[in-house]
Structure 1
């Protein structure tokens, strides 16, 4: 059955990825447009995460938020800042995805 909490969680994850990815472009919050983007993204992120936790157990919501946030920020850093993850980073991200899938599919929380 569909759980609207996962839509809130997806919005939260996307907002967190956006905010975190653009922090570097705020130039220590001296760039007003980028600063507003980061503050707005984090505000939306925590609002949506709060809503998601009304439908999804806290442990599952938070672990998915953290894990997919890490992966998303890594992907954005590859695009925005030309950073290249090495093999240990790729392996760790694979384990994060695996853990998220296992927790989602098999957890009875």
Structure 2
């Protein structure tokens, strides 16, 4: 049977990436539009994360949320803010992704 927890987790990760990526555009929460987007994105993020954790072990859900959030925010910062990760950053993101895959595939948690 399909575990809908992973859909909730994907929604949580996506909204966390959105919220975190937009923080810079709030200019200290002085701009209303981006500030509302950040607050709504984080509210959705944590709601979806709680739903995901009802069917996915906490350690697995949180490690995937953190790891893929880091990678997603880095990728979005490349697009939004023209930031370029260097080799150590790229290598580290590959380790994060592979760690998430290994944990999700082989962990018996």
TM-score (norm 1): 0.99
Residue of structure 1 equivalent to 2:59: 59
Deviations 1:51-93 (A, max 9, x none): 0000100000000000000000000000000000000000000
Give 5+ residue unaligned stretches, structure 1: none
Residue of structure 2 equivalent to 1:69: 69
Residue of structure 2 equivalent to 1:48: 48
Give 5+ residue unaligned stretches, structure 2: none
Residue of structure 1 equivalent to 2:36: 36
Q: CA RMSD in A?
A: 0.5
Could you list the runs of 4 or more consecutive aligned residues of structure 1 that deviate by over 4 angstroms after TM superposition?
Answer: none
1:2 Cα deviation after fit: 1.6
TM-score (norm 2): 0.99
